[in-house]
Amino acid sequence: MAKLTWNDDVGPKLARQATAAFAAKAQAILDEVHGSASGHDVAAVKATLRTRWQSEMGQLPDEALLDKFAERLASGQRVVLSPTGTYSA
């Protein structure tokens, strides 16, 4: 009979994979909104972003982050997420 051993890296590895998958899905939303948001009113961009994020991610980022994303997207800046969940514009 084989002996089972625990791999201590399982938890952190799964967490990294889940975070990277979340960031990739969120990036796709941001890029799609970016394609149509430039020059539009920040409130309209925020509404679009909120609707897409809620329907595809099942949750929303906090309002301050949603505001920052909408402002940057409306001004034509691309928001780039990293696999760790940070962002830059």
* Residue 48 to residue 71: CA distance in whole angstroms: 12
Distances (CA, A) of 72 to 2, 14, 27, 50: 56, 31, 14, 14
Of 48, 9, 13, 33, the C-alpha closest to 81 is 33
Return the structure tokens found at 31: 């890029």
pLDDT in tens, the chain (89 residues): 677 777 777 778 887 887 788 888 999 999 999 999 888 999 999 999 999 999 999 888 889 999 999 999 999 999 998 766 566 65
Cα-based distances in Å from 50 to 4, 12, 24, 44, 71: 46, 30, 17, 10, 13
Could you state, in order of their start, the residue ranges of all structural domains in the chain?
15-88
| pTM of model > 0.85 | no
